[in-house]
Amino acid sequence: MDCREIDCKKFQDNFGPELIYQTYDPKTEMSGITVIDNTALGPAKGGIRMTSSVNVEEVFRLARTMTWKNALADLPFGGGKSGIIANVGTMTTKQKKSIVQSFGRAIKPITPNKYIAAPDIHMGEQEMKWLVKANGDFNAATGKPKNMCINNGKKCGIPHEFGSTGYSVSIAAIIAAKTQMIDIEGMSVAIEGFGNVGTFAAKYLEEAGAKIIAVSDSRGCAYNPTGIDITKLLKTKKKTGTVIKHKNIKIIPNDEIFKLSVDMLIPAALPDVINKSNVNKIKAKIIVEGSNIPMRENIERILFEKDKLIIPDFLANAGGVISSYAEYKGKSPEEMFSLIKKKMEKNTKNLLIRADMDNIMPRTAGLNIAKERVLKAMKRRKNI
């Protein structure tokens, strides 16, 4: 196992990163990256994604987002992230398990004192179970299965499959709509990505009265301007593996979802899906960033100058880290959802008030709040 620190200077500023940790196991061909960005507020917290394209720059960008997300959520966590370079589509379950276990052993020197892992793309509760067992520390990761417990069942896993991230996205979306005087009842919504975040965001928004008119996955986009029944769509997705097999929908290309005339657009899949090629075709009044870094800051500014309200990722999808904190502290799922609701309502309102008062982008307002908290913690640590 070859674990080493590499040069951080390419990305470094006053906030971090503190450590870029690369791992490789020739036996399993596991190749991993962990970036610990800033630990002034606490151990670095952030998920692990497994894709064939993940690289150091992407992991660093995500780790920095986690620094701001945890600070803005007012949690005692710093920012970190991991990536495992692997093509999930070509491997067996046995191969994936071996790779995850290898990564769990590789990060043992930095968990959980410096870094606490969690699920992300292609990594769920089962993978967290594999990782934690191989690592040997129950607190090495959150998002574990609910039946994985210690202390006679007093401290158990809270899987992200409970829908914590999608729940936080829905709360941020509802508050954003109210600030724009958009009635939630009948509000038209398009959701790019129908994984863990997109499915629960759709479910909770539909329950609130919104009309979900378009949902996409890797195989295409299901569109119906009169609305799609999300409960039925979930059944279709489970049965066929895709939303485009659903009845009473029109199949449109994935990139068309960004051009629809809707009240709200929720990107909930991969990074940089809103970019130079489609930014000027966005018609949605509000964009709630369900996924991490769905667009770069310069793209957000273009939309901001067109009077689009954008709820940034590190606020909107903070339900995952709030859930992680609840699990870390041994809280129940019910207590977890209550904590998300309380924090998301408070944090979204505070961010939008700050943005309005200072006449700045919501992202800038959120960053200012987060940076103030991190700098205060860095100064306190320096003086100790």
Q: How far is CA 334 from the centre of its chain?
A: 21
Whether residue 253 sits in one domain with residue 238? yes
Residue 326, in any domain of the structure: no
Whether residue 150 sits in one domain with residue 175? no
Length of the chain: 384
Q: How large is the average pLDDT for residues 276-294?
A: 95
Q: Percent of the chain scored above 90 by pLDDT?
A: 91
Whether residue 251 sits in one domain with residue 271? yes
Rg of the chain over Cα atoms, rounded to whole angstroms, equals 20
Q: What is the DSSP string of 51-104?
A: ESS--HHHHHHHHHHHHHHHHHTT-S-EEEEEEEE--GGG--HHHHHHHHHHHH
Whether residue 363 sits in one domain with residue 226? yes
Residue 373, in any domain of the structure: no
> What pLDDT, on the 0 to 100 scale, is given for residue 4?
44
Q: Which residues of 208-244 are buried (b: 16+ CB within 10 A; e: fewer)?
A: eebbbbbbbbeebbbbbeeebebeebbebbeeeebbb
Helix (H, G, I), strand (E, B) or coil at 10: coil
> What pLDDT, on the 0 to 100 scale, is given for residue 380?
94
How confident is the model over 63-74, as pLDDT tens digits?
998 999 999 999
Q: How large is the average pLDDT for residues 42-65?
A: 94
How confident is the model over 312-351, as pLDDT tens digits?
999 999 998 999 999 999 999 999 999 999 999 999 999 9
Element (H, E) at 197: helix 196-208
Domain boundary among 98, 125, 157: 157
- pLDDT above 90 for 79: yes
- pLDDT above 60 for 211: yes
Q: How far is CA 255 from the centre of its chain?
A: 21
Amino acid at 289: E
The total number of structural domains in the chain stands at 2
Residue 334, in any domain of the structure: no
Whether residue 205 sits in one domain with residue 126? no
- pLDDT above 80 for 21: yes
d(CA 30, CA 100): 8
* Mean pLDDT for the chain overall: 94
Q: How large is the average pLDDT for residues 197-208?
A: 97
Whether residue 110 sits in one domain with residue 197? no
- Are 344 and 171 spatial neighbours (Cβ–Cβ below 8 Å)? yes
- The boundaries of the domain holding residue 105 are 2-64+78-157
- pLDDT above 80 for 52: yes
Residues identified as active-site? 81
Residue 176, in any domain of the structure: yes
- pLDDT band at 382, cuts 50/70/90? confident
Domain boundary among 100, 130, 157: 157
- pLDDT band at 6, cuts 50/70/90? low
Whether residue 128 sits in one domain with residue 89? yes
Residue 73, in any domain of the structure: no
> What pLDDT, on the 0 to 100 scale, is given for residue 293?
86
- pTM check: above 0.85: yes
Whether residue 357 sits in one domain with residue 219? yes
Residue 276, in any domain of the structure: yes
d(CA 63, CA 42): 14
Whether residue 110 sits in one domain with residue 45? yes
How confident is the model over 153-202, as pLDDT tens digits?
999 999 977 899 999 999 999 999 999 999 999 999 999 999 989 999 99
Q: Beta 250-252 vs 220-223: how paired, if at all?
A: antiparallel
Q: Percent of the chain scored above 70 by pLDDT?
A: 98
Q: How large is the average pLDDT for residues 114-121?
A: 94
Whether residue 133 sits in one domain with residue 172? no
> What pLDDT, on the 0 to 100 scale, is given for residue 1?
34
Residues 6 or more apart from 122 whose CB is under 8 A from it? Answer: 49, 50, 51, 88
CATH number at residue 124: 3.40.50.10860
Task: Answer with the residue of higher pLDDT: 121 or 170.
Answer: 170
> What pLDDT, on the 0 to 100 scale, is given for residue 7?
57
Residue 24, in any domain of the structure: yes
Q: How large is the average pLDDT for residues 232-260?
A: 97
Whether residue 302 sits in one domain with residue 213? yes
Domain boundary among 135, 157, 179: 157
Query: If we measure between CA atoms, which residue out of 34, 162, 50, 71 comes closest to residue 366?
Result: 71
Q: How large is the average pLDDT for residues 247-261?
A: 96
Whether residue 179 sits in one domain with residue 152? no
- pLDDT above 50 for 3: no
d(CA 363, CA 198): 21
Q: Cα separations (Å) of 236 from 125, 192, 199, 228, 245?
A: 23, 17, 12, 12, 7
Residue 343, in any domain of the structure: no
Q: Cα separations (Å) of 172 from 212, 286, 340?
A: 16, 11, 11
> What pLDDT, on the 0 to 100 scale, is given for residue 161?
75
CATH number at residue 225: 3.40.50.720
> What pLDDT, on the 0 to 100 scale, is given for residue 9?
72
